[in-house]
Amino acid sequence: MIEQSTTRRLMMQFAAPVGAVVLSIVMSAFILMIAGSNPATAYGDMLSHAFKLETSVSMINRATPLYISGVAAAIGFKMNIFNIGVEGQYRMAAIFAAYVGGAIALPGILHIGLILVVAMMVGGAWAGIAGALNTERGVNIVISTIMLNGIALGIIAWLVRSWQAEGEIVVVGVGTEPIDDSGLIPNLNFIPEIFGDIRSEELTGVLVIALVVGVAYHVLLNRTVFGYDLRSSGLNPFAARAGGVPPKRMIMVAMLMSGAVGGLVGIAEIMDKARYDPNFVGFLGFNGISVALLGRNHPAGIAVGALLWAFLDASSDILQVTGAAPKEIVDIMRGVILLSAVIGYEIVRRIRVRDEAAQAAARLAEVAA
C-alpha cells in the first residue's frame, strides 16, 4: 500500500508538465491547420532538426544561460519573492564583467575567475538595491525590479552610445575591449565529437558553470540550515519568524544570491563573443522565470524546462528555413505549455492535499478501531 502511494505521488509529479506539453502539441496542431499549414510536416521538421548532432549542441548552448537564469529566479520563488529583475541584473553584470575582462589580462584561471566574480558582484548589487528598498522602505520587489530593469537598459544604452563615432550608428565591430584568450572559458567540443561531426557548432564551456550552479542550488536548499530557513520563510513567513528566521535578512540574502546567480546568465554570450556588444542577447531573464515556473523551482525540473525552451528556439529557426509553419507557432506553444502547466500543478496539489488528508483520516480510524 505504501509502495502504491509512492508510485502515485511520482506519477502525479509528472502528470502536469507532461500533460501541458501534450495539450500544447494538440492545440498548436489545430492552430496550424486553421492557418493552413500541415502540423505533421511542421512537427516532423522540428523533430528531425532537433535530433541532428549539431542542433543538439546548439540546444544545450541555448539552454545553458536559460538554466542559470531559471535557478536565479527559483532562489527568489522559493522564498515567495518575485525577482523579475534578472533581466536587468544579468545585463548590467555582463557589460561590467566584459569591461573588466577586456581591461585586465591575467593568467588563465585567474582571468576567468575575475570575470565571473565581477559578474556575480554586479548582479548581486543590482538585485540588492531592490532588496534594500524592500527591507528598509517596504517597496514592493516586483515593482522595484521592473524599474531597475528599465534603469539597467538605460544605462547600457548610454554606455553603448559612447562607442559610436560622431554622427553615425555602428552596431557591428564595436563594444567593450575584446577579452584576451586567457579570460575565455574553453569549449567542450571533445564531448560531442565522440558522437560525430558537429560542423561549425561549439559546445559552450559555461555548461560546467551551469552544472555547478545547479548542484550548489540543490545542496544549499536541501542540505543547509540556510536553505531550510529560506524554504520555511517562503512557506510561512510568520511561522519562520517565530522559529527564529530573521525575515528582513532572509529577503536581503535571497535577493543578493538570486542576483549573483543572475549575474552569470550573460557569461555564455561574453565567452562566445569575447566582449559585450550592442547586439547582446536579451530576454534571458524573463525566459528564466518561465523555465523556473515550468520546472517547479527544482534543479532538475529547471534543466528540463530550459532544454524544452531551447528546443522550441531551435524549432523556430528551422521552421523559418523549411517554411513548414510560421515561426510564431513556437511562441503559442510556449504560452500554452506555461499556462496549462501552472494550472496543472495547482490541480495536482489539490489532489495531493485531498489524498493525504484521506490517508491520515484512514490512519486515525485504524488506530481507533
Query: Which residues between 241 and 270 bind another protein (CB under 8 A)?
Result: 241-246
The least distance separating another protein from the CB of residue 351, rounded to whole angstroms, comes to: 13
Q: Which amino acid is at 207?
A: L
Distance CA 355, CA 348 (A): 10
Per DSSP, 316 falls in state: H
| Residue 225 contacts another protein per CB under 8 A | yes
| Residue 279 contacts another protein per CB under 8 A | no
Contact 203, 54 (CB under 8 A): no
| Residue 194 contacts another protein per CB under 8 A | no
75 CB-side CA count, 13 A: 30
Question: Which of 222, 283, 321, 323 forms a contact with another protein (CB under 8 A)?
Answer: 222
Question: Which of 227, 281, 286, 327 forms a contact with another protein (CB under 8 A)?
Answer: 227
Distances (CA, A) of 144 to 152, 289, 307: 12, 16, 30
The least distance separating another protein from the CB of residue 244, rounded to whole angstroms, comes to: 3
Return the range that interacts with another protein (CB under 8 A); candidates 42-50, 99-107, 155-163, 233-241: 233-241
| Residue 238 contacts another protein per CB under 8 A | yes
Distance CA 336, CA 20 (A): 7
Query: Which residues between 343 and 362 bind another protein (CB under 8 A)?
Result: 352-353, 356-357, 359-362
Nearer to another protein, 164 or 236 (CB): 236
Question: Which of 8, 161, 199, 223 forms a contact with another protein (CB under 8 A)?
Answer: 223
C-alpha cell at 327: 515561426
Distance CA 306, CA 317 (A): 17
Nearer to another protein, 186 or 247 (CB): 247
Contacts of 308 (CB under 8 A, 6+ apart): 21, 294, 337
| Residue 239 contacts another protein per CB under 8 A | yes
Question: Which of 201, 229, 269, 277 forms a contact with another protein (CB under 8 A)?
Answer: 229
Long-range contacts of 242-250 (CB under 8 A, 24+ apart): 248/135, 250/79
The least distance separating another protein from the CB of residue 240, rounded to whole angstroms, comes to: 7
Contacts of 280 (CB under 8 A, 6+ apart): 91, 94, 95, 266, 269
| Residue 10 contacts another protein per CB under 8 A | no
The least distance separating another protein from the CB of residue 81, rounded to whole angstroms, comes to: 17
| Residue 169 contacts another protein per CB under 8 A | no
Contacts of 250 (CB under 8 A, 6+ apart): 79, 229, 230, 233, 240
The least distance separating another protein from the CB of residue 299, rounded to whole angstroms, comes to: 16
Residues lying near another protein in the complex (CB under 8 A): 2, 222-229, 231-232, 235-236, 238-246, 352-353, 356-357, 359-364, 367
